[in-house]
Amino acid sequence: MTSTVPLQEVTGRVADALASFGAEPSDLYRALANNEIVAELWIRFAWGLRENSKTPRALRELMILRAAQLQEAAYVWRDHTAMAHAEGVSEEQIDALSFWPSSDLFDEPTRACLALAEEMVAGQVSDETLDCLARWFTAEDRVELIVTAGFYCMVPRVLNALRLTSGDTGE
3-class SS string, 13-73 = HHHHHHHHCCCCCCHHHHHHCCCHHHHHHHHHHHHHHHHHCCCCHHHHHHHHHHHHHHCCC
Identify which of 83, 76, 35 has the alpha carbon closest to the alpha carbon of residue 59: 83
Q: Which of 19-28, 40-49, 99-108 has the highest mean pLDDT?
A: 99-108
Position 46, amino acid: A
Examine residue 169 and state whether it is found in any structural domain, yes or no.
no
Q: What is the CATH number of the domain that holds 87?
A: 1.20.1290.10
**Is 163 inside a domain boundary?**
no
Residue 93 lies in a domain: yes
Residues 40 and 64 in one domain: no
Q: In the predicted model, is pLDDT for residue 168 greater than 70? A: no
Contacting residues for 10 by C-beta, under 8 A, at least 6 apart = 18, 25, 29, 30, 33, 39
Give me the mean pLDDT over the 1-19 stretch.
89
Contact present, 171 and 76 (Cβ < 8 Å): yes
Instruction: Check whether residue 38 and residue 94 sit in a common domain.
Output: no
Distance CA 50, CA 105 (A): 24
Query: Which structural domain, as residue segments, surrounds residue 80?
Result: 57-157
111 and 35 within one domain:
no
Within a domain: 166: no
Statement: residue 169 has pLDDT above 50: no
The pTM assigned to this predicted structure is 0.91
The predicted pLDDT at position 166 comes to: 61
For the chain, give the longest Cα–Cα distance.
49
